[in-house]
Chains A and B, each alone.
Chain A
Amino acid sequence: MNLIPNVIFAVLLVVAVGIFTKNIRQIIANIQLGKSTDRTDQKSARWRNMARIALGQSKMVRRPVAGILHVVVYLGFILINIELLEIIVDGLLGTHRVFAPYLGSFYNFLIGSFEVLAFLVLVSVIVFWLRRNVLRIQRFWKAEMKGWPKLDADLILYFEIILMGLFLSMNATDALLQQLGAVHYQQAGYFPVSQYLMPLFDNLSESTLIVLERTFWWSHIIGIFIFLNYLYYSKHLHILLAFPNTFYANLMPKGAFRNNATVTQEVKLMLDPNADPYAAPTTEAEPDKFGASDVMDLNWVQLMNAYTCTECGRCTSVCPANQTGKKLSPRKIMMDTRDRLTEVGNQQRKKTGLSDGKQLLDDYISREELWACTSCNACTEACPVDIDPLSIIMDMRQYLVMEQSAAPSDLNAMMSNIENNGAPWPFNNQDRLLWAQEN
């Protein structure tokens, strides 16, 4: 018995899963560079959120065309992976369609459904490509999509087209070999879609068909291994991270912005008449800096958000600032955070440590973008996986104002009014009730 293919398969499998695991560990390590934030409360509400939004795609279908096509691709992806299990067992044991004898006619039903799904996925992915490249839907052509993000999006579609094509071709040649009664090709499966590909391979000899079938089979599985490892370099990580991201999402009303705990301590001390201003500082190290100027100042959920973003641009398309031509794009906030985080993670793993002298503020995200936000929450409402660009904008504003006193001058005037007379405008607080005397 020739064991070489089995060994090659096992090696490929181990290498592919090994590299993938290493990359995922790096992403987890990068996310852990963020500050802690407690999201372990309301467990059942969190499970429900995940079930509804990630598993149930409830926010995806708010835009019905893209939403329904996405559900097709998503279902196809999950269900066709059952077939992947068989392919892996076959590859390791040198069997062919190992599940068929155990499942009987149910096996035929499964293969038939996978074929239909594969076809629907193929159609959906082609429509996706047309939306991006022929209809040129605006959100796919914004400034931040130039270069790699655009190519990345197209590559993912090409990958899926090729994988589905290989899957169906593999079945078509397999079915023909079954008809010819080739050794090793047991009668199994039902091929409602690939039967239409069979004429392409008509009149070929058994040995040619076997070569083709094996080529398709190997290309398909190797393609999947490559795609698995492509995830790390692409925006496509949402297929995994959408689940934890919706689980750990903010469950508070959208208008409730987190209160900065470091500030609370300071303010309490200031307002407490019994506090001893000369008291020796507690054992704590120097106080945290206020707000965020780099990714390490953000919390881990915000960093996970950044890796989860798949750059669909629904946030940007509903952003009032972006709609009226301002520089702000919530999607870019997430992409910048992710790119900076990857950069910081890579540097920290080197001996030299963080040494590029850059930071998220100014080198990635400009002040102009941050000050254009109206905090209207349209972006967080639109995100199909509950990403929160607004919280990052607010944390960075906090850094600008509290660490750098770098607010726009109009805002400084507003803030000094609040400080001096308890209103954002220069009115005397004693006049607060004058309206009652007016007509």
Chain B
Amino acid sequence: MVVPTLAEMNARGEKPEVLFWVGCAGSFDDRAKKITKAFVKILQKAEVSFAVLGTEESCSGDPAKRAGNEFLFQMQAMSNIEVLNAYEVTQIVTTCPHCFNTLKNEYPELGGNYQVMHHTQLLKKLVRAGKLRVEGDTFRGKRITFHDPCYLGRANSVYEAPRELLKKLDAELVEMRNCKSNGLCCGAGGAQMFKEPEAGNKDINIERTEQALEVQPDIIAAACPFCNTMMTDGVKNKEKEDLLPVKDIAELIAEAEDL
């Protein structure tokens, strides 16, 4: 697929409306790359003017900050801000709630002021503006449960955008025992993604997967590449991977639209 970079557009004297911040998972992780591509397909279908940073993108610094390395975080943040400001970026969309949170809440104080959206927020906007039509057939009547990412939900109070999109799929949205502000973490946050868990009697993703299984869904919808990995592992652990796919909302929409 052809994905323009800011550098290329800049060389042509063009400026996109929105920067798609892909994130490390979205760039390198095999599972997350599928989400990235699904989202790009939707952006192209909806004729959104966008670009990516490509090799000029670097880690937002979130895992470093949550691990306690404020120094590394601020180094990352300030050099990213330098790049973003040089391109006069005003709007950013990202498929990763961790990048979303950091760019939105922790960059302004360091000189980076942008309008930052999670991809579900942008998709909701596109649907409402009539630029993106979501037809339901593929998922009609399917039971979908949505796992709230902590950094989208509790951290930033975004609960409705992903749900509104799922309802557009004509699917039956079934809520877990712990949802929205009471949502249970998948176990990846706070840099846990990159380390072994402390000793306990269960892994957090297993606990969360069990909560999902309680409502007998056909699909677990996620909105974060890390949650996606954790829930996928949880479903595998329960030997249900053939029956119960874990999909990002962008993937569901792309699939429904046959993109």
Interface residues of A (CB under 8 A from B): 252-257, 259-260, 263-264, 266-268, 270-271, 290-291, 318, 320-321, 323-328, 368, 371-378, 381, 394, 396-402, 407-408, 410-411, 413-415, 418-419, 422-425, 427, 429-436, 438
Contacts and interface: CB of A to CB of B under 8 A. Distances in A.
A328 B254 CA distance: 40
Chain B interface size band reads 35 or more
Nearest to A400: B68
Interface in B66-106: 66-72, 74-76, 78-79, 101, 104-106
B34 to A, nearest CB: 9
B191 A260 contact: no
26 contacts: A252-B105, A255-B104, A256-B106, A256-B155, A260-B70, A266-B71, A291-B70, A327-B198, A368-B198, A371-B198, A372-B198, A378-B182, A397-B67, A399-B68, A400-B68, A402-B69, A402-B70, A411-B194, A414-B67, A414-B195, A422-B57, A422-B59, A424-B24, A425-B29, A427-B24, A435-B27
A355 B66 CA distance: 33
Contact of B63 (A326, A381, A414): A414
Interface of B: 1-3, 5, 22, 24, 26-29, 33, 36-37, 40, 52, 54-55, 57-59, 61, 63-72, 74-76, 78-79, 101, 104-106, 109-110, 150-151, 154-157, 181-182, 184-185, 187-204, 206-208
Contacts of B204: 320-321, 323-324, 374
B192 A291 contact: no
A422 to B, nearest CB: 3
Given A324-B197, A375-B150, A376-B189, 17 more contacts: A252-B105, A320-B207, A323-B204, A324-B206, A326-B200, A375-B191, A378-B182, A381-B181, A400-B68, A411-B67, A418-B76, A422-B24, A422-B76, A427-B24, A432-B22, A436-B2, A438-B33
Contacts of A436: 1-3, 37, 40
Contact of B190 (A327, A374, A410): A374
A282 to B, nearest CB: 20
Contacts of B52: 433
A325 B200 CA distance: 4
Nearest to B74: A267
A375 B198 contact: no
A241 B154 CA distance: 25
B197 A320 contact: no
Chain A CB within 10 Å, residue with most, of B37, B59, B188, B199 = B59
A267 B75 contact: yes
Contact of A378 (B105, B184, B203): B184
Contacts of A266: 71
B8 to A, nearest CB: 11
Contact of A394 (B27, B28, B68): B68
Given A411-B191, A433-B3, A418 B72 contact: yes
Contacts of B185: 320, 374, 376, 378
A95 to B, nearest CB: 52
B58 A429 contact: yes
Contact of A375 (B70, B104, B190): B190
Nearest to A406: B68
